[in-house]
Chain A
């Protein structure tokens, strides 16, 4: 199938026509008045002499490389009532994603090659985004014995990212061994940084005046920061690579900034919700806003935005965490942690970072596609839009403002913290290897 994307603004810079055939970008021509015309590179051997089967008028739209999410919970196997690989893939496509990393905390846990291959196959069957399983660091996420990291890496799923997400690898010895071990196959440990002694399982509200007043168990920023600090030192000691999942505090940002300046191999992600939502939303005890790590005060939010803009934080990752309604309809401390994120991520980043001038669209491509693809070692994603590149593409209407309605979601769940919020910038088309997975 051939496709012509007409008059798109590539990364918000140059306006061009993009011609796609056989799932690959064939031509990028800067003239939008005449037909597509080869301008660059040796990749453009097949000129589109024939009429493309599909033409998308992209006037006023921004073209980005397909988005990559380092941190998604698809809930299958185990909680197919909350989300499946298929419905999660649909949500990802709506959100402009062409690849997602599916976290290991399913039931059963993705801690074997067989489990990883099963998730990978379900993703292929759904066929909407590349579903790349994340392997558990430790068996059953228990934090004690290493899972079969090497077998998962050698499996057809080619697992490279390992995480006990939902739980922290708290034991320094286990973390050290995991970091050392994955060097053999270029793996990375994505750490959920939460010192269990400082923030136990019931901790659910940023520790501060509000947690004191509400009487909710406090989750202090320092519980994250001590683990980030420990892990960057372990990464330095082992010469390995660590990735900090969902950074939520200014203190963690300072540690990561220092570690990068010291040449330590560390990367970090921030969620859309930690870029915009603040702890005061918990005042009404609405479990929609219960998430781990918790929403933080405005000072942390501001530090996270700056860190994303200056490159201290490498990527935006959704931590999309669907939950059945009845798992959220408990008292706040008893309710499930997590919120939806795939469908709204680009809009939140656009609203927070682009509208404010902190990032341009090239920057958005960097933090939502190029960097996450590089961190995860995903080939075929996050590539520059030029002839020869796989046609994983996302078209964004930067001017579209809309009010989020949780009922509109394709996710099976409705724990949507963006409900009734106005956002600006919206994904209108998503293409996976030239095939339209969203839009029309």
Chain B
């Protein structure tokens, strides 16, 4: 395992396998009456969130607490940054308090990586975990998605996963395409041309995934489909003309459910826009929608990540 988890690039397929083994153990803990493990007792983790988040922050918070770490949530949005403090100063201040791990969410792509760089220049070797940075990556989300799918399929080798939605602005897509291909799955990403990331043609060839504008053609070929949130404000950016038109072209509607192979899992990182990218029938499809399983897996996977990065070698991981 690497020192930080900034990107899926930081972990190998073997690393992911080990994380999943640990996550499975942690998952069992979730079902116990007393959930605390002593693994990170005496360690302090700061969740430094420069961008609003409810689910990711609480997921990290619960994960840390169940491992007995002291978890502090710091919302840096509009505090020090609006006073003009540099990101470097904010982070050096927070870490000078003597913490053991830093979980960062930032609206700017690349920020956690920059933070890790500044910390290493200052010889402060604290693991940095990316909890989502702008349009770049959301590695723990991708790991929990892959974990959820692995539990369903046994292995992702040879499976075909479709990722559908606002790819341009999605860090979930960028991390998932890396982790899923790393684990042997083939991936097709689907979006209208305006929501395809720039240069995706060259990039997809290099990274080994496929692109399509035609959801109806992709769904019958997919073993699982991951729907991404589409923000309504994208309409004012001219990315698509109306919510109605988006749904007709790219929503997982009730009628489109029939195109999926029976029982094919449906994933969504949340929060959902029901009626826009996903219909209630799809979101609530019994035995098919894994959306709440993703949330529960999120805690287990984040426990595994915290455990491996903070307890590390001594834990015999």
Are A and B physically bound partners? yes
The chain A residues found within 8 Å of chain B, CB to CB, are 207-216, 218, 220, 284-287, 326-327, 329-334
Q: Is the CB of A329 within 8 A of B197?
A: no
Q: Is the CB of B174 within 8 A of A215?
A: yes
The CA of A326 and the CA of B108, in the complex, are separated in Å by 17
Given contacts A216-B109, A285-B113, contact A330 B87 (CB under 8 A): yes
CB distance from B26 to the nearest CB of A (A): 29
CB distance from B130 to the nearest CB of A (A): 12
Contacts of A213 in B (CB 8 A): 174, 197, 199, 203
Contacts of B109 in A (CB 8 A): 214-216, 285, 331-333
Q: Is the CB of A214 within 8 A of B136?
A: yes
The CA of A197 and the CA of B114, in the complex, are separated in Å by 29
Chain B residue, CB-CB nearest to A331: B108
Q: Is the CB of A209 within 8 A of B202?
A: yes
Contacts of B206 in A (CB 8 A): 209
Q: Is the CB of A211 within 8 A of B199?
A: yes
A–B pairs, 19, beta carbons within 8 Å: A209-B198, A209-B199, A214-B136, A215-B134, A215-B174, A216-B135, A216-B136, A284-B117, A285-B110, A326-B86, A329-B86, A329-B89, A330-B88, A331-B87, A331-B106, A331-B109, A332-B108, A332-B111, A333-B108
Given contacts A329-B86, A329-B88, contact A212 B114 (CB under 8 A): no
Given contacts A215-B135, A215-B171, contact A331 B111 (CB under 8 A): yes
Q: Is the CB of A218 within 8 A of B86?
A: no
Contacts of B198 in A (CB 8 A): 207-209, 211-212, 218, 220
Chain B residue, CB-CB nearest to A215: B135
Within 8 Å of chain A (Cβ to Cβ): is B99? no
Q: Is the CB of A331 within 8 A of B114?
A: yes
Contacts of B133 in A (CB 8 A): 215
Within 8 Å of chain A (Cβ to Cβ): is B200? yes
The CA of A207 and the CA of B203, in the complex, are separated in Å by 13
Q: Is the CB of B199 within 8 A of A212?
A: yes
Given contacts A329-B88, A334-B87, contact A285 B134 (CB under 8 A): no
CB distance from B197 to the nearest CB of A (A): 3
Contacts of B171 in A (CB 8 A): 215
The CA of A211 and the CA of B202, in the complex, are separated in Å by 12
Contacts of A215 in B (CB 8 A): 109-110, 133-137, 171, 174, 197
Q: Is the CB of B87 within 8 A of A207?
A: no
Chain B, range 107-148, C-beta contacts under 8 Å to A: 108-111, 113-114, 117-118, 133-137
Q: Is the CB of B202 within 8 A of A331?
A: no
CB distance from A203 to the nearest CB of B (A): 11
Contacts of A329 in B (CB 8 A): 86-89, 118
The CA of A266 and the CA of B96, in the complex, are separated in Å by 55
Q: Is the CB of B110 within 8 A of A214?
A: yes
Contacts of B117 in A (CB 8 A): 284
Contacts of B197 in A (CB 8 A): 211-213, 215
CB distance from A216 to the nearest CB of B (A): 5
The CA of A285 and the CA of B197, in the complex, are separated in Å by 18
The CA of A284 and the CA of B200, in the complex, are separated in Å by 19
Chain B residue, CB-CB nearest to A325: B86
Q: Is the CB of A333 within 8 A of B87?
A: no
The CA of A220 and the CA of B197, in the complex, are separated in Å by 13
The CA of A270 and the CA of B87, in the complex, are separated in Å by 32
Chain B residue, CB-CB nearest to A334: B108
The CA of A74 and the CA of B113, in the complex, are separated in Å by 32
Contacts of B87 in A (CB 8 A): 329-331, 334
The CA of A354 and the CA of B244, in the complex, are separated in Å by 59
Contacts of B113 in A (CB 8 A): 284-285
Chain B residue, CB-CB nearest to A209: B199
Contact string, B237-249, partner A, CB cutoff 8 A, digits 1/0? 0000000000000
Contacts of B203 in A (CB 8 A): 209, 212-213
**Top-3 shortest CB links A-B:** A285-B110, A215-B135, A209-B199
Given contacts A215-B171, A216-B109, A285-B110, contact A330 B86 (CB under 8 A): yes
Contacts of A333 in B (CB 8 A): 108-109, 134
Contacts of A211 in B (CB 8 A): 197-199
Chain A residue, CB-CB nearest to B178: A213
Contacts of B86 in A (CB 8 A): 326-327, 329-330
The CA of A209 and the CA of B149, in the complex, are separated in Å by 28
CB distance from B102 to the nearest CB of A (A): 15
The CA of A331 and the CA of B89, in the complex, are separated in Å by 12
The CA of A326 and the CA of B90, in the complex, are separated in Å by 11
Contacts of A210 in B (CB 8 A): 199
Chain A residue, CB-CB nearest to B115: A331
Q: Is the CB of A208 within 8 A of B199?
A: yes
Contacts of A331 in B (CB 8 A): 87, 106, 108-111, 114, 134
Contacts of B111 in A (CB 8 A): 285, 331-332
Contacts of B135 in A (CB 8 A): 215-216
Q: Is the CB of B136 within 8 A of A207?
A: no
Q: Is the CB of A209 within 8 A of B108?
A: no
CB distance from B113 to the nearest CB of A (A): 6
The CA of A263 and the CA of B82, in the complex, are separated in Å by 50
The CA of A391 and the CA of B86, in the complex, are separated in Å by 46
Known: A212-B199, A331-B111. 14 other contacts (CB 8 A): A209-B200, A209-B206, A211-B199, A214-B109, A215-B133, A215-B171, A215-B174, A216-B109, A218-B198, A285-B110, A326-B88, A330-B88, A331-B108, A333-B109
Contacts of B201 in A (CB 8 A): 209
CB distance from A72 to the nearest CB of B (A): 25
Contacts of A208 in B (CB 8 A): 198-199, 202
The CA of A431 and the CA of B206, in the complex, are separated in Å by 53
The CA of A211 and the CA of B206, in the complex, are separated in Å by 15
Contacts of B89 in A (CB 8 A): 326, 329
Q: Which residue in B88, B106, B137, B199 is a CB contact (below 8 Å) of A207? A: B199
